[in-house]
Amino acid sequence: RLDRLGLDAFSSDLDKALKSADVDELDLSYNNLSAIPQWVTECKRLRVLSISHNAITEIPIGLGQLSALTILDASYNSVVSW
């Protein structure tokens, strides 16, 4: 079981591995992301998500369906749509 994952550089191949992982905490900060990867909304056990210091402009509606998510750090982005 993968409880916590922090990334310094985001890899598109990583999404395949994480779709089946049981992730509790995910840190995608400082990865120059312009969007939250779709697979994040499939992490049903996700409690903590940090997407700070990126270039994200929209929070996908699927995040609202993650019932375990209690902490979302989206600071230092340019979010215009929630």
Give the tens place of pLDDT for each residue, 14-68: 665 666 567 889 999 998 999 998 889 988 889 999 999 999 999 999 999 999 9
CB 28 within 8 A of CB 51: yes
Stretch 8-17: mean pLDDT: 58
CB 37 within 8 A of CB 17: no
**Chain centre distance of CA 49:** 5
> At 69, is the secondary structure helix, strand, or coil?
coil
Higher pLDDT, 12 or 47: 47
* Alpha-carbon distances, residue 2 vs 5, 22, 82 (angstroms): 7, 6, 28
